[in-house]
Amino acid sequence: MAAPEQIERIELHRMRIPLKVPFVTSLGPNNEADNVVVVITARNGMVGYGECSPFWTINGETAETCLAVGSHLSKALMGHDPVDMEGAHALMDRLIFANNSIKSAFDIALHDIAAQLAGLSLAHHLGGVHNPGLLTDYTVSIGVPEKMATDAVDIVRNGFTVIKVKLGGDGDLDIERIKAIRDVIGQKIPLRIDANQGWDPETAIRVLNALGNFNIQHCEEPIPRWQFMEMRRVKAASPIPIMADESCSDHHDAERLIAMGACQRFNIKLGKSGGLFKARKIIALAEAAGMEVQVGGFLESRLAFTASAHLALTSKAVKYCDMDTPLMFTADPVEGGIRFGPKGELNVPTEPGLGARITSQWLASPAHSITR
C-alpha cells in the first residue's frame, strides 16, 4: 500500500481588499475585506488553497489573531496526511478552542488537496452532484428607508431574483424600511431579512408579525445569540420562518437548537463552523430533522465562496445561497472559481479539487511560512 500523502509546507497570507461601498449591518459598517489565505503544499507538490474572513463581532477573530493562531496550527499539522480530515480537525481542536474562522481556511485547503488526489471536483468528492440550480441573493445594507429602497431597485435592475435586507435596531424603522422597499419593487420578488441579533424578543415578535404579508422567505437571527433560549418563543409567534445564524456555529449548536425546536432553518457559514468537515455535520442534522439550510459567508473572496458553492451541491436540504459579497469587492484576486451569471446564477467549477486559487500578485510574501 502506498504511503499516505504528507503536508510539506504551509503559508499564511493577509489579503486586504476595499469594498466598492460600505457594507453595513446592525453590528456596524465594513469598508474592506481583511482576509487570511492559507496555502498548503503536499509532499507530491500538490497545492491547496483556503481562505477565511474573520468577523470581529461574530466570531471574535481578526486577521491578526488568525495569523497568530494559524502559525501554531501550521506547526501542528506539518507532516499530517491532508486526506485525514477528522484527524486534522482533532489536532486543531485539541490545540486551541474555537477560532473557527482560521480553522476553516485550513479545512478548505486540505479539502482542495484531498479532492485533487481523488481526481474529483470538490462537490463530487463530498458526494454531491453538479447542477445549474444555485442562485444567490444580493444584499441591501441597513440605512435610511429611502436609500435602501433605491438600492433594492438597482438590485432588481441588475437581474437578481431574491433580495436580502439588513435590519435590526429600531423596530418601527425596520418596518418602514421594508415598506419602502416594497413600495418601489412590488411584492413579487421574495425578500430575506437579517436582523443580526438586533431585536429583543418582544420587538422581534412585533416586527415579524407586522411584516408577515410582505413575501419574506425567512428572518435570520432576530435576537441576541445569548438569548437562544428565547428563540423558540419568537418562532412560535412569528408568521415568518426563523433561521439561526450567529447562534448556530457548529454541529453542537445545531444539535441543541434542533432539540429545543428553536428555529426552522440554519444559515451555515464555513467561517463559523470551522470549515466543510463540520458544516457537513450540520447539514446531516438538518436533513434528519427535515430542516432547510442556507449556505452563506462573511466577506470572503470567490475562493472561499467556491468552497461554499461546492458544499451547497451536496444536499437537497440546501435551499438558499447568500454568496454575493465578492461582487462588492473593488478587485478580484481569484483565478478560476465560481462565476456569477444572470439572475444571480452561480456556476461552479468542475475540475479536480476546489477549482480556484489566489493569483500570484496577491501572494507576494507570506506573513507566516512553515516548512517541514
Q: What is the DSSP string of 111-149?
A: HHHHHHHHTSBHHHHTT----S--BB-EEEPS--HHHHH
Average pLDDT over residues 276-305: 98
Q: What are phi and psi of 215, to 5 degrees?
A: 55, 60
What does residue 83 show for φ and ψ, rounded to 5 degrees?
-80, -25
pLDDT of residue 1: 53
Is the Cα torsion angle 256, 260, 262, 266 positive or negative in sign? positive
Burial 129-166 (b: 16+ CB within 10 A, else e): eeeeebbbbbbbbbeebeebbbbbeebbeeebbbbbbb
| Cα R_g (the chain), whole angstroms | 20
At CA 71, angle to CA 69 and CA 76, rounded to 5? 95
pLDDT for res 354: 98
Backbone φ, ψ for residue 340 (5° rounding): -95, 125
What cell was used for 175? 418596518
For the chain, give me the number of helices (H) and strands (E)? 13, 16
Contact partners, residue 116, CB within 8 Å, separation at least 6: 46, 48, 352, 353
Is the CB of residue 153 less than 8 Å from the CB of residue 184? yes
pLDDT for the residue 54:
98
For the annotated catalytic residues, the residue numbers are: 166, 194, 220, 245, 269
- For the cut 90, the answer to whether the pLDDT of residue 80 exceeds it is yes
| CB 134, CB 321: distance < 8 Å | yes
Average pLDDT rounded to a whole number, residues 89-115: 98
Mean pLDDT of 311-327: 97
Over residues 173-202, the mean pLDDT reads: 98
Question: Are 43 and 25 contacting, i.e. CB atoms less than 8 angstroms apart?
Answer: no
Q: What is the pLDDT of residue 92?
A: 98
Rounded to the nearest 10°, the torsion over CA 228, 58, 263, 144 is 110
C-alpha to C-alpha distance for 75 and 370, rounded to whole angstroms: 7
Domains of the chain: 7-119 (3.30.390.10), 124-357 (3.20.20.120)
Q: What is the pTM of this model?
A: 0.97
pLDDT above 80: residue 188: yes
Strand ranges for the chain from DSSP E? 7-25, 28-42, 47-52, 138-140, 163-166, 191-194, 216-220, 242-244, 265-269, 292-296, 318-321, 334-336, 339-340, 346-347, 356-358, 368-371
Rounded Cα distance, 62 and 101, in Å = 9
On average, the pLDDT of the chain sits at 96
Rounded CA separation 366/264 (Å): 42
For position 367, what pLDDT does the model report?
A: 78
d(CA 328, CA 95): 35
User: Are 164 and 148 contacting, i.e. CB atoms less than 8 angstroms apart?
Assistant: no
The answer on pLDDT for 372 being more than 80 is no
Could you read off the pLDDT of 22-50 as tens digits, one per residue?
999 999 999 999 999 999 999 999 999 99
Confidence band of 2 (pLDDT split at 50, 70, 90): low
Going by pLDDT thresholds of 50, 70 and 90, the confidence category of residue 369 is: confident
Cell numbers 481569484 label which residue? 334
Q: Is 221 in contact with 197 (CB distance < 8 Å)?
A: yes
